[in-house]
């Protein structure tokens, strides 16, 4: 049963990623007008343009170019970044590793904290501490990542001198060396996710608390803490998994900005670099790999949900 569910999900996701790859390709090839001119700049001569078109295969039909690009991507040949003349795959994979490290550190901070605050606020709904949590979370969401980031730099790097302001880590640095440089970016990205996770968890808890079974448990004489722990949390945390899946999109968007605030050498920094240089070939590869990762992460969250809640996979039939 679960296998069939999994199979269907993968098929659907594969189709979506395929559509996405086509969109990415068309955005990068059709919108700029003349790709060769964008890459070479305004002053480029006709001969240089023609040579580049031939080199990149831009003179071939669009469909051929698309299929060729897609095949190369699947087979591991991602092409050469035009701006730096480096092969794209090792470059992107190295940056991706850094980004995943930062994303992991962020989730490690944001999940326990966000769920904790959300459960607290939901349990104490309508009381002063719930209001306090709500207001402080709301004010944090009001601040874009780069504003909170710069505030944190000002406080922790310049005034207190606890942490470095710049997180441009060397490729051969050990985890111990990286940790302090990871701290501020991870905290900044956490602040954005925190409000989101906490608010949805709060809704889940409030929802569960209004169910009949809670009243039964209460009439049965269970202590509030037991009810919360044994009954409410188990049900309320289920939607939280979906929350994690949804917030992955936020996390990716947030990390793009955060990496740029701290000069952290991740995929988001590479992305703005590619745009700055108008390197469409590199841009295309970064966009596609991000979409694939986003899709796989979503699939994993979906799968976890289905494993935990039989109603999902059975109701699907």
* Residue in 69, 15, 68 with CA at minimum distance from that of residue 280: 69
Q: In degrees, to the nearest 5, what angle opens at C-alpha 51 toward C-alphas 45 and 57?
A: 130
Which residue's CB is nearer to other proteins, number 246 or number 307? 246
Comparing CB distances to other proteins, the nearer of 17 and 44 is 17
Q: Is 272 in the site for other proteins (CB under 8 A)?
A: yes
- Shortest Cβ distance from residue 273 to other proteins (Å)? 10
Does 143 sit near other proteins (CB under 8 A)?
A: yes
- Alpha carbon distance 83, 269 (integer Å): 15
φ, ψ (nearest 5 deg) of residue 7:
-60, -45
Instruction: Indicate whether 152 belongs to the interface with other proteins (CB under 8 A).
Output: no
Kindly tell me the sign of the dihedral angle through the C-alpha atoms of 274, 278, 282, 283: positive
Q: Which residue stretch of 55-63, 78-86, 146-154, 211-219 sits at the interface with other proteins (rule: CB under 8 A)?
A: 146-154
Nearer Cβ to other proteins (111/192)? 192
**Do 122 and 236 contact (CB within 8 A), yes or no?**
yes
Of 1, 147, 173, 296, the residue at the interface with other proteins (CB under 8 A) is 147
Between 24 and 183, name the residue whose CB sits nearer to other proteins.
Answer: 24
Tokens representing 193 are 């996710």
Number of residues binding to other proteins, judged by CB under 8 A: 49
- Which listed range, 52-60, 63-71, 234-242, 270-278, lies at the site for other proteins (CB under 8 A)? 270-278
Dihedral pair phi/psi, residue 212, rounded to 5°: -60, -40
Tokens of 255: 């990390």
The pattern of x and - marking residues 7 through 46 that bind other proteins according to CB under 8 A reads --------xxxxxx-xxx--xx--xx-----x--------
102 binds other proteins (CB under 8 A): no
Pair 122, 199: CB distance under 8 Å? no
**142 lines the binding site for other proteins (CB under 8 A):** yes
Alpha carbons 24 and 12: distance in angstroms, whole number: 18
For tokens 């901070």, the residue is: 109
CA 299/CA 303 separation, integer angstroms: 6
Q: Token digits for 270?
A: 């590479």
DSSP 176: H
What CA–CA distance (Å, rounded) separates 247 from 210?
26
Q: Does 207 bind other proteins (CB under 8 A)?
A: no
Candidates 56-64, 85-93, 121-129, 137-145: pick the segment binding other proteins (CB under 8 A): 137-145
Q: Is 250 in the site for other proteins (CB under 8 A)?
A: yes
271 binds other proteins (CB under 8 A): yes
| Residue 59 dihedral angles phi and psi, to the nearest 5° | -85, -5
Q: What is the Cα gyration radius of the chain? A: 24
Q: Which stretch binds other proteins (CB under 8 A): 40-48, 68-76, 93-101, 252-260?
A: 252-260
Nearer to other proteins, 222 or 250 (CB): 250
**Does the protein bind other proteins through residue 257 (CB under 8 A)?**
yes
Contact footprint for other proteins (CB under 8 A): 15-20, 22-24, 27-28, 31-32, 38, 138-139, 141-147, 150-151, 153-154, 158, 249-250, 252-253, 256-257, 260-261, 271-272, 274-276, 278, 280, 283, 287, 290-291, 294-295
């Amino acid at each position: 049963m679960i296998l069939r569910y999994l199979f269907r999900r993968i098929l659907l996701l594969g189709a979506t990623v395929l559509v996405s790859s086509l969109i990415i390709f068309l955005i990068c090839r059709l919108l700029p007008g003349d790709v060769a001119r964008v890459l070479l700049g305004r002053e480029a001569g006709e001969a240089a343009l023609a040579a580049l078109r031939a080199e990149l295969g831009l003179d071939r039909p669009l469909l051929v170019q698309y299929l060729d690009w897609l095949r190369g991507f699947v087979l591991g040949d991602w092409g050469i970044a035009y701006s730096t003349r480096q092969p794209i795959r090792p470059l992107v994979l190295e940056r991706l590793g850094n980004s995943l490290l930062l994303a992991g550190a962020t989730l490690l901070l944001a999940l326990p904290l966000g769920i904790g605050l959300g459960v607290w606020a939901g349990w104490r709904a309508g009381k002063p501490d719930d209001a306090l949590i709500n207001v402080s979370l709301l004010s944090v969401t009001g601040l874009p990542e780069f504003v909170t980031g710069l505030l944190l730099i000002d406080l922790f790097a310049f005034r207190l001198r606890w942490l470095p302001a710049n997180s441009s880590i060397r490729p051969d640095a050990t985890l111990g060396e990286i940790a302090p440089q990871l701290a501020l970016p991870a905290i900044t990205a956490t602040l954005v996710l925190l409000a989101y996770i906490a608010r949805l968890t709060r809704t889940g808890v409030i929802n569960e608390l209004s169910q009949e079974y809670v009243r039964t448990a209460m009439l049965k004489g269970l202590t509030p803490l037991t009810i919360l722990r044994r009954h409410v949390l188990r049900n309320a945390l289920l939607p939280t998994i979906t929350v994690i899946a949804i917030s992955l999109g936020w996390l990716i968007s947030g990390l793009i900005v955060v990496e740029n605030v701290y000069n952290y050498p991740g995929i988001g920094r590479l992305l703005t670099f590619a745009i700055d240089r108008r390197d469409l070939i590199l841009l295309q590869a970064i966009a596609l790999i991000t979409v694939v990762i986003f899709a796989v992460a979503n699939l994993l969250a979906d799968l976890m949900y289905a494993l935990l809640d039989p109603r999902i996979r059975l109701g699907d039939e």
